[in-house]
Chains A and B, each alone.
Chain A
Amino acid sequence: MKIGVFVCHCGSNIEATVDTAAVAAAAREFPGVVFATDTMYTCSEPGQDEIVEAIKEHNLGGVVVASCTPRMHEQTFRRTVERAGLNKYLFEMANIREHVSWIGKDREANTNKSVDLVRMATEKLMRNRALHPKKFTINKRVLVIGGGVAGIQAALDCADGGLEVVLVEKTTTIGGKMAKLDKTFPTVDCSSCILGPRMVDVAQHPNITLYAYAEIEEINGYVGNFEIKVKKKATYVDWKNCTGCGICMDKCPSKKARDTFNEEIGFTKAINIPFPQAIPKKAKIDPEFCTMLKKGKCGVCAKVCPSGCIDYEMKDEFVTEKVGAIVTATGFDLFDWTVYGEYGGGRYPDVITSLQYERMLSASGPTGGHIKRPSDGKEPKNVVFIQCVGSRDKSVGRPYCTGFCCMYTAKQAILTKDHLPLSQSYVFYMDIRATGKLYDEFTRRAMEEYDTNYIRGRVSMIYPKGDKLLVRGADTLMGTQVEVDADLVVLAVGAEASAGASGLAEKLRISYDSYGFYMEGHPKLKPVETNTAGVYLAGACQGPKDIPSSVAQGSAAASKVLGLFSKDQLESDPQVSMVDIKRCIGCGKCIQTCPFGAIKEIDFRGMAKADVIETICQGCGICTSTCPQGAIQLQHATDNQILSEVNALCQF
């Protein structure tokens, strides 16, 4: 094979610490290499054209590009060599940027290492073979996991694009965190007026199947053909007939059930509908608090239900759905702020979270839109807001900025003044981060028009003083200590990955970062893709996001799904395992170890042999390292190819 080697400067990214001309010169001496050069930007148009011309001029049979990580530009260069008429698998990359030039400044050692990596790539390339993809048909349905605003947007966009959508929501209603908000920044328009109609659209859309109070039990298959097992959790109410009239909730004598929708300000009934605009508006029994389910006595709801929907014997149910793509929009949870002893660690009833305050402000909330102190129900006069509770704090393992707390705190300060004109709000902040459209103007309004007292500094202690709370902190701009007699303290609690994120990631076979947020395909160029084909991300499951960004991502994910489904058939990755039937002894070990059931036993002239189903094989190569005969080989990563790389490194 005649090989061409292109060593990229990447501007100064590589050239500054690697002598690329020397690498190219060394490469010219390698067996098989007939052409080697260094170029300024190999990925640019002239850079790619240079490759195409060299392939034609020198009649190259394979190309090595030494530049950035293959995760960045392998696809780019594969298309380039394809353009010149080569099979795209007759191409290898040597990663001399992320793995060499960016991790050290020793030019001699870096150059030497780069030469090694190029040698490795050429040795592997010499053993590469042209590979050809197979086509397979796809199931043009999409699963959306999570019914918050991002999931709703993704579901509606896909459904409007003509796709059948399965929307799975963990709680009994869609709407997510946005449904709990009273108003939204920077327009201060009512959250449920914006979201409510979208929720109704979901319920009424002929293309959307909604499973509320359901969870993903199992995911099998691969892009184009996933099989999803959905667990419909027992609600003890027959939702087919429940009209959402709410009589059961009125009459239920068990009044101490946890009210998660209202962030546990007060209680709800054991049988409940979370809020009036819930979609679907159906009742559910909380078995932890239902006297009938716990003790076998009561049955009031069954007696009063006009449609006879109550079923105390109901069990979890499982349904299987077949889809071709998955959008994950599982959102976020709030940081558990009680780790902060200085804020009382949860001992003071009048220290509440921002989301609890939001429920208090909401007209459909537990206080009917009146701001009341949880301790005595009185209206507060001085309200203190503390920013960055579980954000930008290494000591609690949350060094990142949640990003939207500055904005909702400004909104809550404005709303406080609207609700209680005689009140005074104080905001203890670190920095104001208001980088969206009309955002900075909004925080200025909170300060200038609504007289909110912004104090730049942290709070060191909150302790009770009579029926008030004394908030002591620093004002770092004035260089003084500040004390505020507060009636109510609202903590701007940061966002963290939702509780079940890692478990779901395992089922989806996608990765997550050290905080539990899902990893996007590329931080800049693939914000809604994952590294697993056919699985997309939307909203705060990828990292904290405000409503506009979540909606944008929901639409982006939907456009990716629609793009994927614009073809009737997908091309399978040809980097799959292949059986050398002469060497196969039919032991069946590969069949047992394959995680995808991609290998089946066939009969070959009366002998058992293994056979790979190419469109199911995902190319992990577990079978290759299991086979005692070396009969099953993963194409593009065969034993010979890997060992040739080992030899290239070790024998010099």
Chain B
Amino acid sequence: MPVLEGKELRIVGFLCNWCSYGGADTAGVGRFKQPTDLRIIKVPCSGRIDPLFVVKALMNGADGVLVSGCHPRDCHYAEGNFYARRRLEIMHKFLPILGYEPGRFEYTWVSASEGQRWQQVVTSFTEQIHKLGPAPKILGPEASDTLGLMQAAL
């Protein structure tokens, strides 16, 4: 089903299983109202996230990508979020090269108890994406060639 025209944009979230996914659950348990745009993909650890997942989501038509993991020094796997931080920090510089505003991607830390913080993160990131509007889509007759070239370059 397409996103609700005029109401929603396509936002993909990658959340670690131990902290942020739990934080999103806690927000749900607390009935903390959130915008409906975000779809969450659960990963075992933020260190599991290949930065190219972010790029591929945007290339495939996402308007925004949010990554969230455990706070530094609170990783279930001791150091996964340090790897994540180092890898994802580069995305802010890399995305403009591909033609995406850096604001379309954000990474943050939310623990399993921080339901309210999760509500704030989702709300403000969704607002940020709505301000940017829909991401430029690769369309037209050469779209598949272009995507193929981008894919190959990655």
Q: Which residue in B12, B34, B43, B73 is a CB contact (below 8 Å) of A650? A: B12
The CA-CA distance from A397 to B19 in the complex, in Å, is 22
Complex: chain B residue closest to A646, CB-CB: B57
Instruction: Using A531-B76, A651-B60, A652-B2 as known contacts, say yes or no to A98 and B25 having CB atoms under 8 A apart.
Output: yes
B36 to chain A, nearest CB (A): 4
Complex: chain B residue closest to A514, CB-CB: B113
A185 to chain B, nearest CB (A): 30
Instruction: Using A102-B31, A625-B49, A637-B44 as known contacts, say yes or no to A511 and B36 having CB atoms under 8 A apart.
Output: no
Instruction: Establish whether residues B45 and A620, one from each chain, have CB atoms under 8 Å apart when the complex forms.
Output: yes
B150 to chain A, nearest CB (A): 14
Q: Which residue in B1, B19, B28 is a CB contact (below 8 Å) of A98? A: B28
Q: Which chain B positions have C-beta within 8 A of A649? A: 10, 12, 39, 41, 57, 62
Q: Is A621 an interface residue (CB 8 A)?
A: yes
The CA-CA distance from A99 to B76 in the complex, in Å, is 22
The number of chain B residues with a CB under 8 A from chain A is 56
The CA-CA distance from A109 to B11 in the complex, in Å, is 14
Instruction: Establish whether residues A618 and B48, one from each chain, have CB atoms under 8 Å apart when the complex forms.
Output: no
Q: Is B93 an interface residue (CB 8 A)?
A: no
Q: Is B8 an interface residue (CB 8 A)?
A: yes
Q: Which residue in B18, B22, B27, B39 is a CB contact (below 8 Å) of A103? A: B27
Q: Which chain A positions have C-beta within 8 A of B113? A: 511-514, 519
The CA-CA distance from A26 to B2 in the complex, in Å, is 12
The CA-CA distance from A626 to B34 in the complex, in Å, is 34
Q: Which chain B positions have C-beta within 8 A of A250? A: none
The CA-CA distance from A624 to B119 in the complex, in Å, is 30
Instruction: Establish whether residues B48 and A634, one from each chain, have CB atoms under 8 Å apart when the complex forms.
Output: yes
The CA-CA distance from A646 to B61 in the complex, in Å, is 10
Main secondary structure of the interface of A (DSSP, over half): helix
Q: Is A612 an interface residue (CB 8 A)?
A: no
Q: Which chain A positions have C-beta within 8 A of B47? A: 620-622, 625
The CA-CA distance from A596 to B79 in the complex, in Å, is 10
Instruction: Establish whether residues A639 and B42, one from each chain, have CB atoms under 8 Å apart when the complex forms.
Output: no
Instruction: Establish whether residues B12 and A646, one from each chain, have CB atoms under 8 Å apart when the complex forms.
Output: yes
The CA-CA distance from A248 to B114 in the complex, in Å, is 51
Instruction: Establish whether residues A621 and B44, one from each chain, have CB atoms under 8 Å apart when the complex forms.
Output: yes
The CA-CA distance from A531 to B44 in the complex, in Å, is 13
B139 to chain A, nearest CB (A): 13
Instruction: Establish whether residues A117 and B28, one from each chain, have CB atoms under 8 Å apart when the complex forms.
Output: no
The number of chain A residues with a CB under 8 A from chain B is 57
Q: Which residue in B7, B12, B18, B75 is a CB contact (below 8 Å) of A109? A: B7
Complex: chain A residue closest to B70, CB-CB: A511
A395 to chain B, nearest CB (A): 18
For chain B, residues 15 to 66, give those with C-beta under 8 angstroms from any C-beta of chain A: 18-19, 21-22, 24-25, 27-29, 31-36, 39-45, 47-50, 53, 56-57, 60-62
Q: Which chain B positions have C-beta within 8 A of A115? A: 1
Contact with B along A103-121 (1 / 0, CB 8 A): 1111011101101110010
Q: Which residue in A113, A513, A637 is a CB contact (below 8 Å) of B48? A: A637
For chain A, residues 125 to 182, give those with C-beta under 8 angstroms from any C-beta of chain B: none
Q: Is B95 an interface residue (CB 8 A)?
A: no
Q: Which residue in B28, B41, B42, B79 is a CB contact (below 8 Å) of A646? A: B41
A630 to chain B, nearest CB (A): 9
Q: Which chain B positions have C-beta within 8 A of A575? A: 44
The CA-CA distance from A589 to B119 in the complex, in Å, is 37
Q: Which chain A positions have C-beta within 8 A of B80? A: 595, 620, 622
Q: Which chain A positions have C-beta within 8 A of B94? A: none
Q: Which residue in B21, B36, B45 is a CB contact (below 8 Å) of A113? A: B36
A323 to chain B, nearest CB (A): 19
Instruction: Using A71-B22, A511-B70, A650-B60 as known contacts, say yes or no to A625 and B28 having CB atoms under 8 A apart.
Output: no
Given contact pairs A98-B28, A109-B8, A642-B43, enumerate 16 new A-B contacts (beta carbons under 8 Å): A97-B28, A102-B29, A109-B36, A506-B78, A509-B78, A514-B111, A519-B113, A620-B44, A621-B44, A646-B53, A646-B62, A647-B60, A649-B12, A649-B62, A650-B57, A651-B61
7 closest cross-chain pairs (CB), A and B: A98-B28, A621-B48, A650-B60, A513-B113, A620-B77, A622-B47, A109-B36
Q: 24 A–B contact pairs at CB < 8 A?
A: A70-B42, A95-B25, A99-B24, A99-B40, A100-B36, A103-B34, A511-B70, A512-B74, A512-B113, A531-B22, A595-B79, A596-B77, A618-B77, A622-B45, A622-B47, A622-B77, A634-B48, A643-B56, A646-B12, A649-B10, A649-B57, A650-B57, A651-B61, A652-B2
Residues of A within 8 A of B (CB): 26, 69-71, 95, 97-100, 102-106, 108-110, 112-113, 115-117, 120, 505-506, 509, 511-514, 519, 531-532, 575, 593, 595-596, 618-622, 624-626, 634, 637, 639, 642-643, 645-647, 649-652
